[in-house]
Amino acid sequence: MYFSVSFPTLSDIIIFLSMANKFKTGDVITLKTGSHTMTVKGNAFKRSAGINESIPDRYECVWYDGKKQQTAVFQEDLLKLAQ
């Protein structure tokens, strides 16, 4: 009995790395169109069959509007690091 082992190609590795998160927890960001500065709380999650699944291109962000804390989820391509 023989087993076949395959290793990822360079293009597989490049695709995998390009899918890595652009932002990390604690990053200070804004919307590309302008907004309050916000802090990345982490990846957004969806609940499926009783299991929380991370959504890799969506981020839960938090900011303060006066004294009130606000939280929302944004798509990665709408965000940029704050200057």
13 against 82, higher pLDDT: 82
**SS3 readout for the chain:** CCCCCCCCCHHHHHHHHHCCCCCCCCCEEEECCCCCCEEEEEEEEEEECCEEEEEEEEEEEEEEECCEEEEEEEEHHHEEECC
Could you tell me the pLDDT band of residue 38, with boundaries at 50, 70 and 90?
A: very high
Could you tell me the pLDDT band of residue 61, with boundaries at 50, 70 and 90?
A: very high
Alpha carbon distance 47, 54 (integer Å): 9
Question: For the chain, what percent of residues have pLDDT higher than 70?
Answer: 80
CATH of domain 22-81: 2.40.10
Mean pLDDT of 64-77: 93
Mean pLDDT of the chain: 84
Domain boundaries, the chain: 22-81
Question: 69 pLDDT exceeds 80?
Answer: yes
Residue 4: both structure tokens together: 């076949």
